[in-house]
Amino acid sequence: MMQIDDPLDPLSQQIDDDDNAAIESDSSKVDEEEESPLLLALDDLESRLVTALNEFKSHSGRASNPAVSNIHDELASILRPVVEVASHAGPATARALASTYPHMLNLDLCVDEIYTRVNSDLVLPVVLESAQSDIVPAKRAASLALFHTLHVEWQKAGSYLDGTTNAPSLAGPYGPGITSGGAISNPPFNALEASRRSQIRAARKAELLRRWVQSAIPNLAPGTFTSATLDASAAGRGVLSASAALKPCLRYMAERIGSADDAGALRLFLPVMRMIEGVLGRLFLERARGGNNMNELEQGSKGGAAAGDSLRASCVKFLEIVVLCFSNRALPGMVAGSQAALRMQKRETTNANDFSLEDLPPGHPIITREGLEEIGEYCFSTLRGLVLLGGQAAIDPNLLLAAAASSSVGSDFMGGSSPFTQILDILKPAALAFLKVESAAEKAGAESGDKGSIILDRSSIELDFGLSQKSYSLSINAVQMLATKRPLFFKDSSTCLARRTIDPPGGAAGGPEGSLTKAAVTGIRVHLRSSCLTLLRHFLSVTSGCWEVLANALTQSGMQAQADRALIASRQQLDLMKGGRAARNRAAIFYTWDTSADNSRAAKRQRDTDDAEATVRAAKMARGLGSGIQLPTSMVDACELVLLNLENLPPKRPPVAASTQRKHPMDLDFVMDAVITNGASLSIDENHWYDRDGGDAWMMEEGELGEDGRRALTFTMNSKVLDAAEKSAQGADKLGDSEKAFVEQSKLAASRAFSRVLMSSSNARSGAVADFGKQLAARLAWTLKGVKPSNDIENAHAMAVEATENSLRKGAASEETLAGSLEFALDYPLVSSCLAFDLVPKGPTVPLRDDAGSSNSASFVSSLSMRILNEAYVCSFNENKENYEKCLDVFVSSVVNACDLSNKTPHDSEKKRIANTAASSLPQQLAAMPSVTGTALNLVGSLCDIDEISKKASAKSSKQTIAESAALHAAKAAAEKRATAALLILRDVAFQRDAMRGPAVDCAVAIASGRLPGSPPIEDKALKLVMNVIFPKNSDCADKVVESATKELELAARYSIDNYEKIVKANEASSKKKDKPRNAAKAALLPQSDEEKIALDRVRKPVVLFMALCVRRPEIIKAIMEMSCREGADVLAKAVKTNMPKLTKAASVKHGAANIALRVSDMASERETPLLLSLLDNLAPSTDKSLPSQELIDACHEIQKNRLDADGKTSSRYIIPIVSGMKRDELVHKIPEFVRGSDDIFKASLRRMAEKLGRYVLIFRDEPDPAESTLRGMSSCEQMVYLHHLDFHAVGIPQKRYLDSIRLCLEDDEVFNDRVVQAALDHMSGKFLEGESLPLAYMRTIILTCSKHESLHSWICHVLLPRLVEGNVYTDKRQWEGWMRCAKMLENTRDHGVSSLEAIQKLPEEQLKMYRAKYPQK
């Protein structure tokens, strides 16, 4: 019987008897899912993402180690795993899973699942939420930047938007991209699958772009953060994100419209329009929104000003991108099909990052070219207004309010309004405000009669905001770039820039304007001129007719020469575009040739290899295939070698010798030759005819015996040899193969013979023989032009050439001369070898002996180099006169090179010996030479360049052994000795050779001033040589020294002017990082940046040298003052002021301080007044305890009387240095004069008055004898007292200036501290009790003191106020009013332990009632 299964039985089996038991689930499906490779991979990717995102979300927003990296770099490094997983690890994992499990997983399924889980569900939402709502601005910025990074990374090979792969089936995340090799197969691919993947790709791109735009929009809304600085910072990051997203979004919309997906394009277009509206609102609607955040930021802290400036600059850059995208790329007025137009269009469209309205397909009902073009035109007009006006022209507040209200609604362009409406509501008023100003200015210019000019009354133009230097520069760049990228705007851009160049910021003087400093104005003016020059150089300036206005603007700016060259270049460019193909090809060939030089080491090495290979091949061809040459193993190379040498085969087979050497009979001649040649004849080279049978060229015949018993000998040359010699003398064109071989081997024979002569003379024991050999070698060296040296002396020739090349690299001033010397060394190889023969190591030498056997005969033996130079000098009278100078340059270069080699290898004793010998003998050799050149003297001066070896010897290293350290110090001492010898050479030339005195002094002065390199000890020696040896020699030497020092100072001034702008920028950047110094006077002479420090070090030495000469000749002080006061020579002026104490100290000792002051005052012009003041200031130094002399005081007063200003008035600046030595009674009468001056003059005079009275700073001194004034100077306490008692009405000083002067004293805490103020107030109140009246500003000073010095509250309440009550202060209405205000200020400060209530209660009853009536007690 069949058993029926109970359907509930399986379930009953899963129930346990336990009451707490539960149903056991079927885990087979769960296990299957857990074992799925795709799910495991997704879990791993998600865990990595969650870890990185959690770390990012929990970050505090502050850099953990600011010294290593800033907060933005730190957050980017935290998000780096997110980028890697979302862009590359995800697609790579999908490809790996599909290839590993092909029967289980599909590639498209893996890619879609991973993208959905990783990107759509995790990364993009989390990053979007952080970018929109995170409370930390830095994390918002990192999230915004992540979208840009993802967009870039997704387009790389193998990622989701990859388009680099040519195979359609491998494009995107489905293939590894272009980085893969060529072994990957292309899988089958149908049209349906291609369409599906294309749609998925578009959807992913749309998702990324839409979220990118959505992330930027909330940051652009005003009030994102309560702090104005943080709000501007977040908005700036939002604008940057919007700028980066605009072009990709427009390109995607163009793709969708081209694919007839109007709805898809519109879904992205609406958020993009809201984003554009948000950016424009942050630029133009801040004033209407009531916050005026940007202006508040600029007037606030430094960080807030920087944030506001960055936001405005970002908005200006966004305007440029909008104009670029919403305009046409086509050239105006160019017919379709024009060749130039086609070339230009092709060149412009090659940039994938560019977008224009031509890229937007027509046909969309909302996204139209006309609407976008209108936005672009208004944006361009706004940019022009920013450039021409320096800011945004004031917009009608009503229009701004309407635009702000429309923008704040945020309706997403619904309700029937066009997406362009809200944007145009913002842009139109801004553009029309400028166009109104522009039209009025053009109308005024037309009425003036000047064609094309405008007249702007900038004082009547109201601006909503002004541009800073950064945003102004970006505006200029935007207008210039749009002119070149969009020719449609070229004419308007050129006109705008030209007009602003003619009427630049700062006016004619170039001073500060608005928020722009003088340096910023200078930078903007230079930027405008360079932009006009760039546009004038463009060919469109000719075709559009704008070249006239551009050239006119540059001409009025002093750049007519540059404008003319730019116009010529633009016309040439236009002619080339219109020219035919031949003209363009010629231009292309010239351009390629002009830039094809490759000086890299790899290219040079390749050329050397090619040259060596060509040399070997030519040698094989010359030798032929005989003589036992072995063919290459490669058949191709062997065939090539055979074909190349077919024409070189001899007519008959050469005889084969039994051995490599010819058999000679063993006769007496054979033995004698072997003995005479020291065995050289035993190794004869069969390839050399002169070794083999050269003796057969001459035949000797004996005649009959004569009556005297002698035979006549007749010598006859071999006819073949004679024919070859005659043909070689006729020219190389007529030579055959045998004659060429004869010429080559003749040169080889001459080279070897010359080498034997030279080596024999160097090894000779007899001095006479050596001298004769050198004399012979010198004659032969000049005769054998072009003969290459043999192997024995090849090193000497190589050293001479290397030395001349090194000198050529060092001596930029003598480049042309040294280039000729190098050519000479190559043309006369034997001559250059002789010059450097004694400077190369040759091993042990034989000591010379004279005929008497003495070994001290070196004194009468002329060196080989001297013989060569003497021969050159003698030949220079008849032949090439420049050979002597070139020969001398090669010789001195070789000596210098030998010394440099010794410095580089301090452990090589042989090189050290050669260098010392050459340097020690060089003074005697140059003294014996018939003439010396300026180039040779400069080369001698390069011996002082021992800074490298000095640093090596001074450097302390634990790795150096005692022997190495000793060798370095010995090498340093030897180098200094050689440098000293070089200075002695310059001294001897200056004294002994009148014609070369100037170059010798120039070289010495250049070393002393640091222009020619030298170590500090050598520079000091050079300075002493110039000042203590050459200058006192005679008047001519002194004149030469002054002339050379003036040249060096001129070079220093030129260097300072050339580096002025770079130093100013560096100082500005450095000043932002440093706090304001307390002592501004001393800090003004210190370098503000590294660039300025380098420049000061460069110009300091010429200044010190010239100042030393000024002590000897005070009349040349005029020169240093004139050069230092040139425009842009600020570094030189600072160096002069820094070293002014040295000059004044020495000059006052030698000539007298008063005399120097008067002489310099007579010489100094008005422009040089700052240096005159510095001189006077240092003639009476504040650090000296002694008072200025009466002569100096009288001299300064005379200078003050003689140097009147433009209004004919005297200036108190000239007597400030000597006020410490003036009598106090005189200073009391001078106080009104100081008060009338500027704040700086006033404060400087007060400091100088009290600089010698440090002990009396809190004391009001009384005259020892009232009948006679003897006290000098004025203490700080006395200054406050006399300043209060100043009768400003009598001396004609406004009351405001009088009160301001007292306020300036109270603000100077360093001088007038609380103790000084207390002493002054106490003295005046004491005099008040004695019957004197209180000064007018007395109670005002007390009130200011209460606000500034809390430490004096107790003294004022318990001492001063009661004392004033005691003196009946209430009888003076003005003082009584001040007393009551002061008492009221301190009455309710009982919480601090101080109150004026006690002083109030001491008032008489009537005055107490009056006080309480005005200030009731609470």
- Per-residue pLDDT for 860 more than 70? no
381 is written with which tokens? 């007009």
Write down the pLDDT at residue 476. 93
How far is CA 682 from its chain centroid?
Answer: 68
The helix (H) or strand (E) run that includes residue 1158 is: helix 1153-1163
In this prediction, residue 421 has a pLDDT band, given cuts at 50, 70 and 90, of confident
pLDDT class of 667 with cuts at 50, 70, 90: low
pLDDT at residue 213 in the model: 92
pLDDT at 698 over 70: no
pLDDT at 29 over 60: no
Quick one: pLDDT at residue 21? 35
Q: Is the pLDDT of residue 335 over 50?
A: no
Query: What is the average per-residue pLDDT within 1105-1121?
Result: 89
> pLDDT over 70 for what percent of the chain?
77
Amino acid at 832: S
Given a cut of 70, whether residue 610 has pLDDT beyond it is no
- The CA distance from 1037 to 269, in Å, is 83
pLDDT for 440 equals 86
Per-residue pLDDT averaged across 159-169, rounded?
74
Residue 846, judged by CB atoms within 10 A of its CB (0-12, 13-18, 19+), counts as exposed
Whether 1155 and 1190 have beta carbons less than 8 Å apart is answered as: no
pLDDT given for residue 104 in this prediction: 80
What's the token pair of residue 1008? 């002393």
Rounded CA gap, 228 and 130, in Å? 20
pLDDT of residue 156: 85
Distance CA 546, CA 536 (A): 8
Q: Give the pLDDT of residue 379.
A: 92
H helices within 1218-1275, ranges in order?
A: 1224-1236, 1239-1249
pLDDT tens digit sequence for 1344-1385: 998 888 888 889 898 989 999 888 888 888 889 999 999 888
What pLDDT score was predicted for residue 18?
38
Sequence-ordered list of residues with C-beta below 8 angstroms from that of 967, at least 6 positions apart, any chain: 906, 907
> Which residue, among 291, 240, 312, 283, has the nearest Cα to 72 in the 3D structure?
240
What does the pLDDT read at residue 340?
47
What's the average model confidence in pLDDT over 406-420? 53
Tell me the average pLDDT across 468-477.
Answer: 90
Rounded to an integer, the average pLDDT of 1199-1214 is 84
Intra-chain end-to-end CA distance of the chain, in Å? 115
Q: Check pLDDT > 70 for residue 853.
A: no
Q: Is 853 exposed, middle or buried (0-12, 13-18, 19+ CB in 10 A)?
A: exposed
Q: pLDDT grade, residue 1281 (50/70/90)? A: very high
What average pLDDT does the segment 1116-1141 reach?
Answer: 88
How far is residue 43 from each of residues 98, 116, 124, 231, 447, measured CA to CA in Å?
17, 13, 18, 39, 78
Structure tokens at 223: 């009030």
Angular region, 61: left φ>0, alpha ψ -120 to 50, beta rest: left
Nearest alpha-carbon partner for 143 in 59, 32, 27: 59
For range 146-152, the mean pLDDT? 90
Over residues 160-178, the mean pLDDT reads 71
Which residues does residue 1223 pair with via DSSP β-bridges, in sequence order?
1272
Residue 625 has pLDDT above 80, yes or no: no
- Range name among 344-353, 670-679, 701-710, 831-840 with the lowest pLDDT average: 344-353
Quick check: 1401 pLDDT over 60? Answer: yes
Q: At what angle do helices 369-389 and 469-485 cross, to 10 degrees?
A: 130
CA distance linking residue 102 with residue 94, whole number of Å: 11
Among residues 1023, 1012, 1019, 1027, the alpha carbon closest in space to that of 1110 is found at 1027
From the list 454, 538, 457, 461, the residue with the least C-alpha distance to 494 is 538
**Inter-residue contact 946 to 979 (CB < 8 Å):** yes
Closest CA to 146 of 102, 97, 98, 211: 211
Q: Are strands 463-466 and 711-717 parallel, antiparallel or unpaired?
A: unpaired
**Residue 627 pLDDT > 50, yes or no?**
no
pLDDT tens for 284-311 read 887 766 544 555 555 555 555 677 788 8
pLDDT at 1080 over 80: no
Of 15 and 224, more confident: 224
Read off the tokens for 316.
């200006």
Give pLDDT, residue 19: 35
Tokens of 263: 């709805």
Distance CA 1187, CA 473 (A): 53
pLDDT digit string, tens, across residues 941-970: 888 888 888 887 777 665 666 667 777 788
Handedness of CA 461, 463, 468, 472 (dihedral sign): negative
Is it the case that residue 347 has pLDDT exceeding 50? no
Residue 25 has pLDDT above 60, yes or no: no
Q: Tell me, what's the pLDDT at 686?
A: 47
* pLDDT, tens only, 494-521: 999 998 898 888 887 788 888 888 888 8
The whole-number pLDDT of residue 631 equals 53
User: Is the pLDDT score of 1092 beyond 80?
Assistant: yes
* The pLDDT value given to residue 1321: 92
Helix locations, 85-158, DSSP H: 90-100, 107-114, 124-133, 137-154
Which of 410-424, 813-827, 863-877, 1283-1297 is predicted least confidently? 410-424
Summarize pLDDT for 633-664 with one digit per residue, the tens: 566 666 666 666 656 555 554 454 444 444 55
pLDDT in tens, 243-268: 999 999 999 999 988 888 888 888 98
In this prediction, residue 211 carries a pLDDT of: 92
Residue 624 — very low, low, confident or very high, per pLDDT cuts 50/70/90? very low
Residue 459 has pLDDT above 90, yes or no: no
Indicate the range of 336-345, 505-514, 704-713, 1133-1142 predicted with least confidence: 336-345
Alpha-carbon gap, residue 1087 to 1099, rounded angstroms: 13
pLDDT at 187: 60
How far apart CA 147 and CA 133 sit, in angstroms, is 16
Torsion on CA atoms 1170, 1176, 1177, 1180, rounded to nearest 10? 180
pLDDT recorded at residue 220: 86
For the entire predicted model, the pTM comes to 0.51
**CA dist 145 to 80, 132, 215, 892, 1364, Å?**
12, 13, 10, 63, 69
Alpha-carbon separation of residue 17 from 8, 11, 20, 24, 27 (angstroms): 16, 13, 9, 13, 21
What's the mean per-residue pLDDT of the chain?
Answer: 79
More confident residue, 287 or 911: 911
Q: Which two tokens stand for residue 1112?
A: 């000897």
